Structure 1
Amino acid sequence: MSDYHDLLPVAVEAVRRASETMRRRPPGMLTVKGDRDVASEVDYAIEREVRTFLVTETPEIGFLGEEEGPVGPAEMQWVLDPIDGTANFVRGLPLCAVSLALVHGSEAVLGVIELPFLESRFTAAKADGAYANGQRIRASSISRLSDAIVAVGDYAVGTDAEDRNRLRLALTAQLAADVQRVRMTGSAALDLAWLAEGRLDAALTLSNHAWDMAAGVVIARAAGAVVVDQDGGDHDLHSTVTLAVAPLLAEAVLATYHKAASAATGDQ
């Protein structure tokens, strides 16, 4: 398929339905998925609603959801995070998102992110520009680290959290020394959407799942941001780190990341 734009109305309608459910329903009972990681009843309700809609509308395309896994073909899939930022949603914090991407092979080619409590919807299809509520958006033109506002992903939890957080803590410390402000919103999808809109100048996430990142990567790239993995190569669905940066800051932010990585391993 070459014209992914034709599928945007289907994706927008799926996300619209999900957002209505998110606004209408309280979180309900929580399901523990791991150390300090939960899913709400609404996560499951949205995933099932969106899966049913998309399988009906596009039966030739598979589906992968965060909570209940894949169904259908794998070469081309809808990839959904029903609530990115569940911890925020459960506490009534408005920094949460519905994130839906279309993935072809290992490349995300279409993305829709909605922030239901902030009345913002972001859309993009490959080679077709990025939009917020129907208006074209571009990544920021900030060129100095000292002027940059940078979002970082959540700290790790689980049995290996101490090891995994060495890099996160080193990166936070290095950014604190170099940039105007560091932010942690609790939603990677929101970070990438706000990067695309120019509200943030970089969004750095050090652990990846396809459902967290795919839609935001499409939107950020379509807005002109640079999105790479930890070695500076092109980011794809197999990347383990997402470094998304306004174009004029890319070199400086990547250098900051590598300086932090060296500090975290003691290789200075």
Structure 2
Amino acid sequence: MSIDVRALLPFAERAATIAGEIITTRAPGVVTAKGDRDMATEVDFAVEHAVREFLSRETPEVGFLGEEEGAGRAGEGLTWVLDPVDGTANFLHGIPLCGVSLGLIDGDLPVLGVIGLPFLNVRYSAAEGVGATADGSPIQVSGARNLRDAIVAMGDYAVGEDAPERNRPRFALTEELAARVQRVRMLGSAAIDLAWVADGKVDANVMLSNNPWDTAAGVVIAREAGALVVDLDGSPHTMSSQATIAVSPALAADLLKLLSTALLHGGTSE
């Protein structure tokens, strides 16, 4: 059975609304440790349960993968990928930079995405070939042409037993960016990083990681808004990529060169 991806966008937007209502009306509750300084709250699980139930009912032919509880069901090629609360640490501390990230992947490629930021009262949406919007209004990447004028968002530093090794390239990248760009920002939410590249609020985003629930929705939204989204070597980004770089096209060559220099000095690490 062939599925028109665009027809699934209203379901994804409704799912984001359901998630937003939970995120904004419930306290974090009991915190479950997932590793060194990594955690999930009761709200993470509640959102995942509610969204999975809704999508299972409305789109039973599509598979489901959630960050907290893994695969919910097998699909026929298409799979929903959910981060129920992207930016959980921010959420726990009352920082409003958090939200729900729901992507749709076809094999290894994201084809639809919705990011709801309920504390900021905005929802970003996109489907392959139809453009990206913020609350229904078209958005596009910034027109920045020089790194010295750019604000660049970075993904979080690594935690866990291998954090020192994994953070060497991140620290080297921070040093290179600090010397070359207007400002470096670490917002604590991959979804916001990518959505704000799409919306022109930041000019580039560099994440030396690529968990599907973190990136699937934002990659589609950024691409549909005109961003170049690539891996470390400049090849088109997929769910198998090592890193996630989203950038206004005019800045791409200089940013990738800077990234190469930083990783050469700091050593590459996933």
Aligned match of 1:73? 74
- Where structure 1 has 5 or more consecutive residues not aligned to the other structure, the ranges are none
2:17 equivalent to 1:16: yes
TM-superposed deviation, 1:3: 3.0
What is the RMSD computed on CA atoms of the aligned residues?
1.0
TM-superposed deviation, 1:208: 1.6
- Equivalence map 1:61-100=2 (5 Å): 61-74=62-75, 75-100=77-102
SS at match of 2:85: strand
TM-superposed deviation, 1:72: 1.9
Aligned match of 1:146? 148
* Superimposed CA distance per residue, residues 35-75 of structure 1 (whole angstroms, 9 cap, x where no aligned partner): 00000000000000000000010111010000000022252
- Equivalence map 1:78-227=2 (5 Å): 78-227=80-229
2:258 equivalent to 1:263: no
Aligned match of 1:43? 44
2:5 equivalent to 1:26: no
CA distance in 1, matches of 2:209, 2:105: 19
SS at match of 1:232: coil
What percentage of residue pairs aligned between the two structures are identical? 56
* Superimposed CA distance per residue, residues 90-129 of structure 1 (whole angstroms, 9 cap, x where no aligned partner): 0000000200011111110000001110001000000000
Give the number of aligned pairs. 266
Aligned match of 1:253? 255
Q: Which amino acid aligns with 1:184?
A: M
CA distance in 1, matches of 2:111, 2:197: 18
CA distance in 2, matches of 1:214, 1:12: 15
TM-superposed deviation, 1:265: 2.9
TM-superposed deviation, 1:190: 0.4
CA distance in 2, matches of 1:131, 1:204: 22
CA distance in 1, matches of 2:3, 2:127: 11
Give the TM-score normalised by structure 2.
0.97
